[in-house]
Each structure stands twice: as C-alpha cells, then as structure tokens.
Copies of this chain bind each other. A is one copy, B any other.
C-alpha cells in the first residue's frame, strides 16, 4: 500500500512513517511531538496558544529530546478590530450562565485568545531551524513567507476546498493538507469566510482528498476522520502522500488533554460532534456539550476569532472546577473510535501497521 508518493515525501522529510501528528493547541506540548517523531512519524508543536517565551522554551525542550524532524504550527489569522458592541452582545448571550455561576461580568478581562504568526515568532523559532513549518487559516504575508522559506523549512498549510489548494500551491507551499470535514478542531478555510456559504463549501475527506490530489502537483496529506491503520490505508488508496492524525492521539500518555476532555472522548457523547464558533469565534469541531446545545453551536452572537474566548473562559473554569465539561471546548473529530490510552510512539506505529 505504500505508494511512490509516500516514499518521495518520507525521503524528502527524513521520516520513516507517513504519519503526521496534527498540531493541537491546548492539549499538547513538545512531549507528544517528540514521541511521534521518535517513532518515525512527524511530531508537531502547536504555537497558537504559547507566548514567545513559552514557544522558545518548548522548542528548546523538543530539540533536546530528539534529533528527528518535527513540525511547528502557527495560526495566521489577522487579529480583528475590537468591537465593543459585539463583545457586549456576546456577554449578553452568556449572561444567564454568568448568573448561574455567580460570575460578575464586569470582572472578566478581555484577551486575544490565539497568537498569529509574526516576525517576532519567526525570530523566536529561527535558532531552532524547524524542518517543517505549517500554517492554518491560509498563509502569512508574502514577505514573512519568503523569510520562512529562506530558513529551509518545508512549508505546509491546510486546504478545505480545491480553490484553497490551488491558491496555496501558487504561493509556494511544499505540500497541502486536505482537511476533510470530519476533522476535529478549527476548520482551516480562508478564501471564503462568509458564514452564509463558507461551511457549505467544506467537504468530507472522501470527496476533498481525491479532488486535491487530481488538481495539485504538490503532495497532498489527508486529514479528517482517519483513526486507525485501515483509515491510513484508505487515505493512501485515495492518493494521499501521508496522513495527518489528531483525535486518535488525544488519550496518549504524552498529551496534556484534561481528564474531563479524556472522559468525554471515551463516552457515548463523542458520537455527536458539531462545528461551533462559541469557544473562539471560528468554526471548530468538538463534542456537543451544554453550552453548544443551549446557545446553538453556531450562535451568531459569538464575536470574530479569536475574541469569543475571553468571555467564555471563566465559565469553563467554573464548570471544570466541578468536574464538568459543559463550557469546555471538547475538540474531537467525527471518529474518536481510534483514541487509545497508549504511548504516542506505539499509536504511531500501529497507525502504519498496514503499510509495506
């Protein structure tokens, strides 16, 4: 089942297994990346929720723990203008929950929530010469991207439509991640972000992957719904050069997934996920919980990404103190059946078990 496509990409990256660990901000640090890279796959460090100092420390620890290739991942959204009216409307929508939790909304600090890629981030990672740098929500400015490429990094970004894949290829990415609609976490769409149409453009992996493979010259990495060795074999049959897997790693020993999140992933609740804007402002797939049910997962009151985060954070903290995930982003793809409570290296090898 190992195709010429996978061989070429593995050689280029210096990895032995065509298994990329999906960067998952908030549920992992360098330890998961190290475990996957040491097993022969491509580990990933998500930078979106780290300060520059934390990012530098994580890279130092990662580099100290492995000499294998790894991926550093950045969001590259343009931070929105603060909008006091919209923020107030969002806090109004959350007001009944604040009342229930005894939270004084006047005391909730504003906060950015997620850090986009920047010249400062580039300067932070430069000494560590990451072999692979990946982006979500498109790409940084042409000038910043040129500087990334001068580092010698292999550059990846996610496409959710054929048009996005063609656009990324034209900007010079080295490979494109086909992010099928099954995937957990944030949708990476960036060409059409109109709420009325953007989500209707999102495709399941069975449709998106072969269309990107047919349309692009660069390798395509399959993501979304892949949970075990059969899924890996199926993705390669559809033309993928490698797979990127997130959800299946969430129960691994090296992930920092909270106990509440872990419990949700192994419960019946994991059968029902939805795209929701409630936690950050951008559609992201997570297990349906109380706040998603009561406000509707795509409630239009949620402000622009990433400004929804700050107002919901104290509710999350309040509920989690009581052992509840009612207000937590329980990120998961549509196929949590592959989650296993094992070391990530073992999972990585088992994912590649059907490859020759």
Q: Do residues B225 and A230 form an inter-chain contact, with CB atoms below 8 A?
A: no
Q: How far is the CA of A272 from the CA of B296 in the complex (A)?
A: 25
**Residue of B at shortest CB range from A273?**
B200
Q: Least Cβ distance of A239 to chain B in Å? A: 6
Partner of A334, one of B203, B224, B235, B271: B203
Q: Do residues B200 and A182 form an inter-chain contact, with CB atoms below 8 A?
A: no
Q: Do residues A231 and B210 form an inter-chain contact, with CB atoms below 8 A?
A: yes
A37 interfacial contact with B, CB 8 Å: no
Q: How far is the CA of A11 from the CA of B335 in the complex (A)?
A: 31
Q: Do residues A211 and B162 form an inter-chain contact, with CB atoms below 8 A?
A: no
Partner of A180, one of B206, B211, B227: B206
CB contacts under 8 Å to B, within A168-214, are: 180-182, 196-197, 200-201, 203-208, 210-211, 214
**Identical chains bound together, number:** 2
Partner of A206, one of B161, B231, B239, B354: B231
Q: How far is the CA of A182 from the CA of B208 in the complex (A)?
A: 9
Q: Least Cβ distance of A133 to chain B in Å? A: 27
Q: Least Cβ distance of A231 to chain B in Å? A: 7
Within 8 Å CB of A56, what residues of B? Answer: none
**Residue of B at shortest CB range from A208?**
B334
Q: How far is the CA of A162 from the CA of B272 in the complex (A)?
A: 10
A337 interfacial contact with B, CB 8 Å: yes
Q: Do residues A196 and B296 form an inter-chain contact, with CB atoms below 8 A?
A: yes
Within 8 Å CB of A227, what residues of B? Answer: 207, 210
Q: Do residues A337 and B211 form an inter-chain contact, with CB atoms below 8 A?
A: yes
Q: Do residues A206 and B226 form an inter-chain contact, with CB atoms below 8 A?
A: yes
Q: How far is the CA of A204 from the CA of B162 in the complex (A)?
A: 17
A310 interfacial contact with B, CB 8 Å: no
CB contacts under 8 Å to B, within A28-48, are: none
Q: Do residues B205 and A205 form an inter-chain contact, with CB atoms below 8 A?
A: yes
Q: Do residues A203 and B231 form an inter-chain contact, with CB atoms below 8 A?
A: no
Among A196, A288, A334, which residue has the most Cβ atoms of chain B within 10 A? A334
Given the interface contacts A161-B271, A210-B230, A237-B234, does A204 sit within 8 Å of B201 by beta carbon? no
A23 interfacial contact with B, CB 8 Å: no
Q: Do residues B182 and A207 form an inter-chain contact, with CB atoms below 8 A?
A: yes
Q: Least Cβ distance of A218 to chain B in Å? A: 18
Binary contact readout A292-325 vs B (1 if CB under 8 angstroms, 0 otherwise)? 0000110000000000000000000000000000
Q: Do residues B230 and A204 form an inter-chain contact, with CB atoms below 8 A?
A: no
Within 8 Å CB of A196, what residues of B? Answer: 296
Beyond contacts A203-B225, A207-B224: 4 other A-B pairs, Cβ-Cβ < 8 A, are: A182-B207, A197-B288, A204-B204, A206-B235
List 8 tightest A-B contacts by C-beta distance, closest first. A204-B204, A206-B225, A207-B334, A200-B274, A207-B335, A234-B234, A207-B225, A234-B237
